[in-house]
Homo-oligomer: A and B are copies of this chain.
Amino acid sequence: MPESNLFLNLFRHKVGKNYAPGQIIIEAGTHGDAMYVVLEGEVEIRVSDAEIETGGPNTILGEMALVDDDPRSATVVAKTDCRLLEVDRRRFQSLVAETSYFALEVMHVMANRLRKSNARIAST
């Protein structure tokens, strides 16, 4: 099974980019060519105005756009001062090819989100 702070460990020497509270990192409906790793701070994932997840360091965001070409399905906003690393499609694909733990951990995150989403549907 993948270890818990894998993304953070993988990118610990990277500087990333700063975001202020309230700043939009990903906007639903737009096209995207990168995923993000939260290095510091907290972000909020929103699907049509409902907060569906809050994420701290090691959270990944926007990974879906790297495996299909569809527009962003959720909006991500900085909740506090944040530092995020952008990982483009090429880097993502080489990580998947070279580091099976990375691929498994991305799947793990997606499975978690899908489970949460299914649970939400089941409760409506």
Contacts and interface: CB of A to CB of B under 8 A. Distances in A.
Q: Size range of the interface on A? A: 35 or more
A31 interface: no
Interface string A84-108: 0000000001001100100110111
Interface stretch (A4-12, A19-27, A36-44, A69-77): A69-77
- Count of identical protomers in the assembly: 2
A117 to B, nearest CB: 4
Contact of A103 (B2, B52, B107, B111): B107
A15 interface: no
A106 to B, nearest CB: 6
Task: With a 10 A CB-CB cut-off, give which of A1, A69, A100 has the most chain B CB atoms.
Answer: A100
